[in-house]
C-alpha cells in the first residue's frame, strides 16, 4: 500500500472515530432548554483580561472561555460565543436572544430574580491611575471631587455610585464619573488627561499593572460572587452540575491557578436566588 493510501486510510478512520464519538455523546440538557438544540449560545465581552480577552491572533482566551468550553464538554453541547459589549447583554438575555451571559456578571438579589444565576468565582473592585500619577488614594473617599472613569452598566459602576451617594450624604463632594464601554477606552481617556483615576475589577487592573500601563491604589473593595446567568433553569442546573464535576476532577482549580483568578471556596455549585419563575 502506498504512503498516500495509508495516510488517507488513517484520516478516514480518525474521522469515523470522531463521528462515532460525537454520536455517542448525547446532550445532557433538554433540547427545549437551548435556543438551538445541541448549541450553547452565550454572550461575552472579550475586553477584561485575564477573565476574557482576544489574543494577538484574534482568538478568544481567558478563564471564562476555557471554563465554558469545559462545561460544554461535560454537557455534550457546542459552546458558541457571541461577542458584544456588556450593556445590551441583560436586555438581550431577557429577550431570549441567547442562552447565557458569560462575562463575570456580579450576583445581586435583583438580578437573581431576572435570571437563573450560578456563582462560579469571586471578584472585587480596584481603584487605579496612570503609573506616573501623583494622586494619593488610600480610601474610597479620596475620590471625592475627582474625575473618575468606569465601565457603564457594570457592578463596579453601580456599587461605586452607591458609595458616592453615601459620601455626598456625609458632606463630601461627589465623584465626577465618566462612563466607558471597555477598560481599554478608560485607559485611553486616562492617557489623554480626561480622567484623574479609574475603577475596574481586581483581575483587569492587575493585568494593566503587569503591562505597566496602570498603578493600583486600592484593591479588594466590595467583593462579591460573579456568575453565569441563564434564561433556562434546566440549563443552569446542568451547568452547575458540570462545574461540580470539574471541581471534583481538578479542572476547575487548574484553570483558576492558570489565570490567577479567585475561586469559590465550595465543593459544589448551584443556582443562587429564586430565578424568574418566582416573579
How far does Cα 89 stand from its chain's mean position?
Answer: 12
pLDDT, tens digit, for every residue of 131-189?
Answer: 999 999 999 999 999 999 999 988 899 999 999 999 999 999 999 999 999 999 999 99
Partners of 176 in the beta sheet? Answer: 147
What average pLDDT does the structure give for the chain? 91
> Where does 114-169 have alpha helices with state H?
155-169
Class of domain 33-121+225-264: alpha beta
The per-residue pLDDT for range 199-258, each reduced to its tens digit, is 999 999 999 999 999 999 999 999 999 999 999 999 999 999 999 999 999 999 999 999
Region of 159 please: left (phi>0), alpha (psi -120 to 50) or beta.
alpha
Rounded Cα distance between 242 and 129, Å, is 39
Helix axes 233-248, 63-75, angle to 10 degrees: 100
Nine-digit cell string for 21: 464519538
Measuring CA to CA, how many Å separate 75 from each of 23, 66, 139, 245?
14, 14, 45, 11
What's the CATH class of domain 125-223?
alpha beta
What three-state secondary structure class fits 186? helix
| pTM assigned to the model | 0.79
Q: Containing H/E element for 118?
A: strand 116-129
Of 54-68, 91-105, 264-278, the one with minimum mean pLDDT is 264-278
User: Residue 277: is its pLDDT beyond 90?
Assistant: no
Grid coordinates representing 151 are: 465601565
pLDDT at residue 153, rounded to an integer = 87
Sequence-distant (6+) residues with CB within 8 A of 273 are: 107, 109, 111, 112, 113, 116, 117
In angstroms, rounded to a whole number, what is the distance separating the alpha carbons of residues 197 and 218?
11
Please report which confidence band the pLDDT of residue 24 belongs to, taking 50, 70 and 90 as the band edges: low
Q: Where in the chain is the domain with CATH 3.40.190.10?
A: 33-121+225-264, 125-223
What is the rounded average pLDDT of the residues 3-9? 40
Amino acid at each position: 500500500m502506498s504512503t498516500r493510501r495509508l495516510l488517507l486510510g488513517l484520516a478516514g478512520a480518525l474521522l469515523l472515530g470522531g463521528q462515532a464519538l460525537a454520536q455517542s455523546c448525547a446532550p445532557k440538557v433538554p433540547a427545549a432548554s437551548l435556543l438551538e438544540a445541541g448549541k450553547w449560545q452565550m454572550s461575552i465581552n472579550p475586553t477584561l483580561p485575564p477573565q476574557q480577552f482576544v489574543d494577538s491572533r484574534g482568538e478568544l482566551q481567558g478563564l471564562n472561555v476555557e471554563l465554558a468550553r469545559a462545561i460544554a464538554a461535560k454537557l455534550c453541547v457546542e459552546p458558541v460565543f457571541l461577542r458584544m459589549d456588556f450593556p445590551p447583554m441583560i436586555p438581550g438575555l431577557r429577550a431570549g436572544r441567547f442562552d447565557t451571559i458569560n462575562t463575570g456578571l456580579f450576583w445581586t438579589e435583583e438580578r437573581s430574580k431576572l435570571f437563573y444565576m450560578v456563582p462560579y468565582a469571586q471578584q472585587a473592585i480596584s481603584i487605579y491611575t496612570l503609573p506616573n500619577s501623583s494622586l494619593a488614594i488610600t480610601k474610597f473617599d479620596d475620590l471625592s471631587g475627582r474625575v473618575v472613569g468606569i465601565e457603564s452598566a457594570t457592578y463596579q459602576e453601580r456599587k461605586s455610585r452607591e458609595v458616592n451617594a453615601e459620601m455626598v450624604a456625609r458632606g463630601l463632594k461627589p465623584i465626577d464619573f465618566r462612563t466607558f464601554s471597555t477598560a481599554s477606552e478608560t485607559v485611553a481617556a486616562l492617557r489623554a488627561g480626561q480622567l484623574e483615576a479609574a475603577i475596574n475589577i481586581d483581575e483587569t487592573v492587575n493585568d494593566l499593572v503587569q503591562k505597566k500601563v496602570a498603578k493600583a491604589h486600592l484593591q479588594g473593595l466590595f467583593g462579591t460572587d460573579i456568575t453565569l446567568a441563564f434564561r433556562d433553569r434546566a440549563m443552569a442546573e446542568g451547568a452547575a452540575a458540570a462545574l461540580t464535576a470539574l471541581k471534583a476532577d481538578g479542572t476547575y482549580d487548574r484553570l483558576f491557578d492558570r489565570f490567577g483568578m479567585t475561586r469559590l471556596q465550595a465543593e459544589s455549585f448551584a443556582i443562587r436566588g429564586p430565578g424568574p419563575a418566582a416573579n
